Amino acid sequence: MKTHYYLSWFNNFFPEKLVKWLDEDIKDRKSLVMISAQPSGYKGEQVNIDDVSERIWLNQANIIFDEYHFVDYRMQKEDARRFIQNASVIFLCGGDPVLQNDFLAEYELSDVIKNSNAVIMGASAGALNMAAKWLSLTNNGYQVETSTIYDGIGFDHLAYESHSKRDYATFVQGYLFPLSEEIDVYAAEQESAIRVKDSKIDILGPVYLVSHSKIQKLGETL
């Protein structure tokens, strides 16, 4: 049974409905492994894992683990792979999706994650990299200069878009339309979540399906 959570961003804490989903799905709470999306951005001392937003959300939801591990360039590749293989939950953190994508490739982590039986979660950048494809834009004011389609880990055959400053008004302008001709894009506003469990997709909060250049808001399923 494979369970994947694509999260946007939560400014304070997980909503009650999401906590209920997670409480049902996360039965094994031995080890949480968080994978940085700023893997080379930390200098000197180790990250205080208690201050990582994704852990704070889980703590507030009373989802507590015996062990916590934070994976970035300061961890040896072999250790990172071993912790991921033994994880109960793997959480790809928010930050810079391109840096995280590069890090996953350099440390050869994508297949290790994909072969895991853990519950897989991603927030913002991390959710992008869970998807089969995602779009990176370079903006100059209101003008999009370049766009690049990246391959994610590909747990599910969908593309994902999440950005705190994008919402329906920007999605409907059509920058996702070219990608939507190739694959269905799930475009999420803040405070939203998608759960894919045994190939069934559940929706929480404002999420839009962009398919063949048409956009529709999806209703909540829980």
Is 90 exceeded by the pLDDT of residue 30? yes
First-residue to last-residue Cα distance in the chain = 20
How many CB atoms lie under 10 A from the CB of residue 203?
A: 20
Q: Is the C-alpha dihedral spanning 65, 53, 106, 109 positive or negative?
A: positive
What pLDDT was estimated at residue 139? 56
Determine which of 37-41, 128-132, 171-175 has the lowest per-residue pLDDT on average.
37-41
Side-chain half-sphere exposure of 162, counting CA atoms within 13 A: 30
Rg (CA), the chain: 17
Contacts of 75 (CB under 8 A, 6+ apart): 69, 83
Is 80 exceeded by the pLDDT of residue 43? no
Percent of all residues in the chain with a pLDDT value above 90, rounded to a whole number = 76
What pLDDT was estimated at residue 167? 79
Alpha-carbon span 124 to 152, nearest angstrom: 13
Residue-wise pLDDT tens digits, 87-123: 999 999 999 999 999 999 999 999 999 999 999 999 9
Calculate mean pLDDT across residues 51-63.
89
- Model confidence, pTM: 0.93
For residue 108, what are the domain limits?
3-218
Q: Could you give the number of structural domains in the chain?
A: 1
Q: What is the CATH number of the domain that holds 203?
A: 3.40.50.880
Is 50 exceeded by the pLDDT of residue 182? yes
pLDDT, averaged across the chain: 90
Contacts of 62 (CB under 8 A, 6+ apart): none
What pLDDT was estimated at residue 17? 95
Residue-wise pLDDT tens digits, 134-179: 998 765 444 445 689 999 999 999 999 987 667 788 888 888 999 9
Provide the edge-to-edge strand list for the sheet that holds 200-204. 67-71, 31-37, 89-95, 119-123, 3-7, 193-197, 200-204
Alpha-carbon span 186 to 209, nearest angstrom: 5
